Chains A and B, each alone.
Chain A
Amino acid sequence: MSQLVRPNRASRSRWVLGAPLLIFLAAVVLFPLGYGLFVAGQDRSLLNPDPSWIGLDNIAAVVQDSSFWRAVRFTVIYTVVVTSVELILGFLLALLFNRRFPGKRLLLSLTILPVMIAPALMGIMFRLLLNQDIGLVPSVLSVFGWEISLFGTDAVVPMLLLLDVLQWTPFAFLLFYAGMQSVPDELYEAASIDGSGYWRSALAITVPLLLPVAVVTAFLRGVDAFRTFDVVYVLTGGGPGDYTTNVSIYIYKAFSSGNFGIAAAASVVVCLILLPVVPVVVRRLADPARS
C-alpha cells in the first residue's frame, strides 16, 4: 500500500516545490506572451479606445512593411558583425591576460569597466564625447590633424559597431578568461614537453576546450545585440532615414506612436524569426559535449 502511495506524494512534492518557479514563469513569461499575442490580434491604438479583434491583419501589415524588413536586415548584420568581432577580440584578450605580467590586476579592472556602464548612459556619454563642436574625441584628433566626423552619414554605422565592440568585448573576455582558468596546466606542460609552441597549444588545447564557453558567449551576446536599443536610439534615433533602425527601434516607434497592435505584431514576428534558433542553442547548452 505504502509503495502505491509514495509516488503520489513524490509527485505532489514536485508540484509544490516547483510551484514558485511555475508561478514566476506564468507571471513573467506566459502572461506577457499571451497578452502580446492577444494585442497583436487587435486594432488597439491610442485613437481606438474600444479595440476589436482583427486576427492576423496587424501581422500581415508588419510582414508587408518594407521598413520592417530593412530593420531586420540591419539588426541581423549588426548582430553577426559585433558578436563575431567581440568573440575574437574577447578570446585574444583572454589569452593575453592568461599570462603573468606587471600591472595585470589594474589592467584587468580597467578592461572590464565598460561592461558596468548602463548602455543608455554609454550612448549619452559618447554623444557628448564625439560631438564635433564640444566633444573630446574630435578635439583631440584635430590636434593631430585628423578632422573626423563620427556622426557623418558614412561613419555612423561603423561608429555604432565600434561602440558596441568597445562596450561588450570585455564581457566576452571575462567569460573566456574564466573558462581558461579551468583548463589544467598539465595539458600545456605536456604539450610543451612534446615541443608544442604557444600558438600551437592555444589552437590545439585552449580553443577546443573553450568551445562550450564560446557557444554560451555567442548566444548571450547574440541575443543582447539583437535586442540592442539604448545606444543606437540615443545616438542616431534609427537614422538618417531608417539606415540604423533595428527591430527594437521599429517596435518602439510603433509603440510610442500609440499603435499598440502593430508594435505587438512586430514583436510576434521577431519571436517567430528567432524561434528556429532557440532549439539549436538550447540543445548545445543542455549538452555541452556536442559542442
Chain B
Amino acid sequence: MSKRSRAVSAALITGVLVAACGGGDSDSASDGTVKMVLWPGPEGEAMQQVVDEYNTGQGQTDGVRVDMTLLSRSDTFSKQATLMSQSSSEFDVYFTASYLIAQHAPYLEPLDVDVSDYFPVVTESLTVEDTTYALPLDVSNHFLIYRTDLIDSLLDDESAHDVYGDLAEQLIGQRMTPKHPDEWDWDDMIVAAAYFTQSHNPDSPTRYGTALQARNLLFNTMIWNNVLWSEGGSWLDDGGAPALSSDAGRRAVEVYRTIYDKGLTSPDSSQAEFPETQAALTSGSAAFAIQWSAAYAELDDPEQSPETAGRIGIAPVPGPEHRTHVHALAVGINKDSDRKDAAAAWLEYLATDEAMSAYAAAGAIPSNPSILEAHADQNPIFPYIADHLDEYGYSPPALPRTYDIYVALADTLSAAWVGQGDVDAALAAADDAIAQLVDAG
C-alpha cells in the first residue's frame, strides 16, 4: 500500500468515526431538539403525554421539540451519574430528586423558578445553599392505607374490643381499646395488626395485620424515617452530629422489630417493597400498611383491585406525632448542555398550570397544591396529599451525601428491622456511617 493510499484510507476511517461519534449531538443541536431523561412507569407515561402536547402546541411557537428517553427504572440515576461525571452534553434535561439534588447540583444550571406555586416542603427539598436547581414534578409521601370494612367492623363490634384489649395486654402490657386510624400511635398500630393476624386472632379475616416494607432499599428507609421523625428523632442532632443512637432511634427500630418478630407481617416482608405491599393489600392478605401515595389509585380501581376497590381508607402515618416523609421527582438543565435556552423554554412550559394539569390528568401527582385541588375528582387522594404535606410533611436535610445516607441506613438497619442482630449495634453502625458521610460531604 502506497503512502498516498494509506493517507486516504486513514482520512476515510477518521471521517467515518467522527461522523459516527458526533453526528447525533450536532443533529439535535441544530434542529432545536431538547433531549430529556426520565424513568419509565407512571411518571414517564404521564410525561409523554405532556411532551406530545408541547411538541404539537407551544413547542412549535418556541421552536423547540422535546425528545424524552426513558431509562431503566432501577438504573436511571446510575446511568445518568456516568453521563454527568463525563460532562456529557448528550441530554439537555436531567431527571433528579430531592434525595439526589445535592449530588446533582454541580452538574445542573441554577433555575429561576417562582416557588410560590409549589408545596414549600417540596421546593425546600430541591434547594442547595439557597439555590433552586430543579423544577418539581411528582411529589411522593406516605399514608396509612387501610381497609375501611375491616376497621369499621373492629370499631363497631363491642365483642371485638375484648379480644383487642387482651392482645394489647399481651403485646404492649396495658389494656387498650380500638381507635380510628386517624388517631393511631405505634402501639395502636401494633395491637390492630395483631387483631388482624390469624396467628394472634384466629377469627381475623386477613392472614396478617400489616405489610412491612423492610427490604434493604433506600426507599424503605424513607418509610422507616416516619417512625423516627414521629418519635421526635432525626438523623442529626441540633449540633449536626449523628443522632440515631437515641431513645427515638431505638424505639423506631423496635416498632419494626416487634411487628416482624411477632408475626404481624409476612416473614417475606424482609424482602418487601412497594409491589409486595400492594400485593398484600390487593390480595386481601393484610388489613393495612404504610404505603406511598402513588399506591392509592391502583388499590381503589375495581379492575385492578376488586378485593379492595371502594373499601380503602386513608389516614396519617401513625405515631405520637403524625409525620410523613416528602420528596419530589424533578428535572433540571444540564450545565454542559448545548441547548440551554431551548431546555429553559421547555422547563418554563412545564412550570405552567396547563402543563401540570395535563400531567395530573395523565395520572401523575404534581407538586402544586392548586393543581391537586383542581383534579380532586380525578384522584381522591389528591386532597389528602395537600392536607398531609401541609400538616405532617418533612423533608430530610439536603446534605451532599443524602442519597448515600439513605443507602447506608438501609444497609445498617434493615437486618435489625427484621430481628437480626443487636439493635444498639445497628444504630451505632448507622451513626458511624452517617458521621463518615457527613465528614466526606
A binding-site residues for B, Cβ under 8 Å: 44, 46-47, 49, 67, 131-134, 149-153, 155-156, 235-243, 245, 252-253, 255-260
Contacts and interface: CB of A to CB of B under 8 A. Distances in A.
* Residue with the greatest number of chain A CB neighbours at <10 A, chosen from B104, B215, B217, B413: B215
Nearest to B87: A49
Interface in B384-421: 400-401, 403-404, 407, 410-421
B412 A253 contact: no
Contacts of A132: 266-268, 285
B270 A152 contact: yes
* Residue with the greatest number of chain B CB neighbours at <10 A, chosen from A149, A237, A241: A241
B302 interface: no
Interface stretch (B76-84, B321-329, B361-369): B76-84
A151 B411 contact: no
Contacts of A252: 78
Given A49-B107, A240-B215, 20 more contacts: A46-B81, A46-B85, A47-B401, A49-B106, A67-B411, A133-B266, A133-B276, A133-B285, A150-B268, A151-B267, A151-B270, A152-B267, A153-B418, A155-B267, A235-B271, A240-B214, A241-B415, A242-B411, A252-B78, A256-B77
A154 B30 CA distance: 59
Nearest to B211: A133
B81 A241 contact: no
A150 B107 CA distance: 43
A136 to B, nearest CB: 13
A133 B216 CA distance: 20
Contacts of A240: 214-216, 270-271, 414-415, 417-418, 420
A253 B270 contact: no
A156 B271 contact: yes
5 contacts: A132-B267, A156-B271, A239-B215, A242-B411, A258-B85
A243 B420 contact: yes
B252 interface: no
B279 interface: yes
Interface of B is mostly: helix
Given A149-B266, A255-B78, A241 B217 contact: no
Contact of A133 (B270, B280, B401, B421): B280
B422 to A, nearest CB: 12
B131 interface: no
Contacts of A256: 75, 77-78, 81
* Residue with the greatest number of chain A CB neighbours at <10 A, chosen from B104, B217, B266: B266
A237 B217 CA distance: 7
A241 B106 contact: no
Contacts of B421: 241
Nearest to B260: A153
B170 interface: no
B283 interface: yes
B337 interface: no
A151 to B, nearest CB: 4
* Residue with the greatest number of chain A CB neighbours at <10 A, chosen from B285, B404, B413, B416: B404
B85 A47 contact: no
B414 A241 contact: yes
Interface in B52-91: 75, 77-78, 81, 84-85, 87
Contact of B216 (A134, A150, A239, A260): A239
B415 A239 contact: yes
* Residue with the greatest number of chain B CB neighbours at <10 A, chosen from A133, A156, A255: A133
Contact of A46 (B84, B279, B411, B417): B84
B28 to A, nearest CB: 23
A49 B271 CA distance: 35
* Residue with the greatest number of chain A CB neighbours at <10 A, chosen from B214, B415, B416: B415
Contacts of A243: 415, 420
B107 A241 contact: no
B293 interface: no
Contacts of A242: 216, 411, 415
A243 B279 CA distance: 25
Contacts of B411: 67, 238-239, 241-242, 245, 253
Nearest to A234: B74
Interface in B219-272: 266-268, 270-272
* Residue with the greatest number of chain B CB neighbours at <10 A, chosen from A49, A237, A255: A237
Interface in B93-145: 102-104, 106-107
